[in-house]
Amino acid sequence: MDKKWLPLTVVLGAAGLAVLTVSLWPEEEKPPLPRTLCHGALSRQTAELIDDGKGGEVSAEEWESKGQGGLTVFKGCGVKRADPGNDSPRGIFNLIVEDSRNDPGPRKNAVPLGPGATGWAIPEEASATLPAGCAARMGSTAPYIMVTLIVPAQEPEKKLVDRDTAIRNNTAIVREAATNLARIAGCG
């Protein structure tokens, strides 16, 4: 081989090796999505029951603070869906866990949650009361711990889903949240 071609051969060989290394180097793996959302209250599968018809990956933003007026338990979670055409996710529903001095009772035209659960559901909202003893186990002096689901996307005026489906989905979410939170607190 002629010595004048040696530098070109070395440069081309190094470039080829660099391209091969980059193409075979593993991409940075994304961490797996969490299996539970909302302080462990909901499975991802159950959270996906409520959809605004636009699809997108489910995520949650959780928050926690001291209650107001002597109440001590307040946890919240905003469930969102990724917006394919936008960088900011869309809010789908909120799940609120708070202690309460009284049980406000069901809303007008509400449907009971069914056997084994205390609470009610309407298309845009649902509420469940955790079993007796949970409030004390969660550090509250109030007699009740309420789990409330607020779903603006399922308001009847929006007609995204029929009333029965909305109530069935809300019931499934609030029952699972109440069951899991009671299990976590050791009172269910």
Domain ranges in the chain?
Answer: 36-185
Q: Are 150 and 173 in contact (CB under 8 A)?
A: no
Find the angle CA(167)-CA(180)-CA(137) to the nearest 5 degrees: 120
The pLDDT of 97-102, averaged and rounded, is 90
Largest separation between any pair of C-alpha atoms in the chain: 93
With 70 as the cut, is the pLDDT of residue 116 above it? yes
C-beta atoms surrounding 134 within 10 Å: 23
With 80 as the cut, is the pLDDT of residue 89 above it? yes
With 90 as the cut, is the pLDDT of residue 21 above it? no
Higher pLDDT, 13 or 112: 112
Smallest Cα–Cα separation from 46: which of 178, 169, 182?
169
Q: Are 173 and 49 in contact (CB under 8 A)?
A: yes
CA 1 to chain centre: 67
pLDDT digits (tens, 9 = 90+) for 33-68: 567 888 889 998 898 888 877 888 888 888 888 766
End-to-end Cα distance, the chain: 82
The pLDDT of 15-41, averaged and rounded, is 66
Please state the φ and ψ torsions of residue 187, each to the nearest 5 degrees. Answer: -130, 15
